[in-house]
Amino acid sequence: MSVSARSSRGRLDAVVVGGGVVGIACALGMADAGLDVALVEAAQPPAWSSEHPDLRVYAFAPDNAALLDALKVWSDVTRQRVQPYRRMRVWDAAGGAALEFDADELARSQLGWIVEHGLLVDCLWRQLERRGVVVRCPARVTGLEQDASGVRITLDDGATLDARIAIAADGGQSALRELAGIATDDRDYDQLGLVAYLRSEQPHAGAAFQRFLPGGPLALLPCTNGRSSIVWSLPVDEARRLLEIDASAFNHELTRASDACLGALVLDSARAAFPLRRKLAQAQRAGRVLLMGDAAHVVHPLAGQGVNLGLRDVSAWLRSVRDAKAKGRDFDASSRLQRWARERRSDNTVSTLAFEAINRAYSNDQPITTLLRGHALELAGRMPMLRHALWRHAAGL
Ligand SMILES: Cc1cc2nc3c(=O)[nH]c(=O)nc-3n(C[C@H](O)[C@H](O)[C@H](O)COP(=O)(O)OP(=O)(O)OC[C@H]3O[C@@H](n4cnc5c(N)ncnc54)[C@H](O)[C@@H]3O)c2cc1C
301 or 103, which is more confident: 103
pTM recorded for the entire structure = 0.91
State the Cα–Cα distance between residues 266 and 139, nearest whole angstrom. Answer: 41
Confidence of residue 69 (pLDDT cuts 50, 70, 90): very high
Best residue among 153, 170, 274 to mutate for probing ligand 1's pocket (most ligand atoms within 8 Å of CB) is 170
Q: Ligand 1 centroid vs 57 CA: distance in angstroms?
A: 12
For 269-287, how does the pLDDT look when each residue is reduced to its tens digit (9 = 90+)? 999 999 999 999 999 999 9
Q: Does the structure show a pLDDT above 60 at 2?
A: no
Q: Which residue ranges form the domains of the chain, and what is each CATH number?
A: 12-395 (3.50.50.60)
For 29-55, how does the pLDDT look when each residue is reduced to its tens digit (9 = 90+)? 999 999 999 999 999 999 999 999 999
Strand segments, DSSP code E, in 125-252 are: 134-136, 141-146, 151-155, 160-168, 184-200, 207-213, 216-222, 227-235
For 226-236, how does the pLDDT look when each residue is reduced to its tens digit (9 = 90+)? 999 999 999 99
For 324-363, how does the pLDDT look when each residue is reduced to its tens digit (9 = 90+)? 999 999 999 999 999 999 999 988 888 777 766 766 666 6
Instruction: Write the residue with the smallest CA distance to atom 39 of ligand 1.
Output: 170
Is the Cβ–Cβ distance between 282 and 177 less than 8 Å? no
Confidence of residue 388 (pLDDT cuts 50, 70, 90): low
Helix (H) or strand (E) holding 345: helix 334-362
Q: What pLDDT does 300 receive?
A: 84
Average confidence (pLDDT) over 250-255:
98
Q: Could you give the C-alpha distances from 27 to 22, 35, 41, 143, 330, in angstroms and in order?
A: 9, 9, 12, 20, 18
Q: Does the structure show a pLDDT above 80 at 170?
A: yes
Is the Cβ–Cβ distance between 386 and 54 less than 8 Å? no
Regarding the beta carbon of 20 and ligand 1, being less than 6 Å apart is answered yes
Q: What pLDDT does 395 receive?
A: 64
Ranges 66-75, 81-90, 101-110, 386-395: which has the least confidence: 386-395
Average confidence (pLDDT) over 157-163:
97
Q: Ligand 1 centroid vs 135 CA: distance in angstroms?
A: 18
Average confidence (pLDDT) over 298-315:
88
Q: What pLDDT does 106 receive?
A: 86
Instruction: Write the residue with the smallest CA distance to atom 40 of ligand 1.
Output: 140
Average confidence (pLDDT) over 293-304:
87
Q: Ligand 1 centroid vs 294 CA: distance in angstroms?
A: 6
Q: Does the structure show a pLDDT above 60 at 1?
A: no
Q: What pLDDT does 29 receive?
A: 98
Q: What percent of the chain has a predicted confidence (pLDDT) above 70?
A: 86
Give the three-state DSSP class for 375: helix
Q: What pLDDT does 373 receive?
A: 58
154 or 1, which is more confident: 154
> At a CB cut-off of 8 Å and minimum separation 6, what does 15 contact?
37, 38, 39, 40, 151, 153, 161, 163, 165, 166, 167
Q: What pLDDT does 7 receive?
A: 41
Q: What pLDDT does 3 receive?
A: 32
Q: What pLDDT does 396 receive?
A: 65
Q: Does the structure show a pLDDT above 90 at 371?
A: no
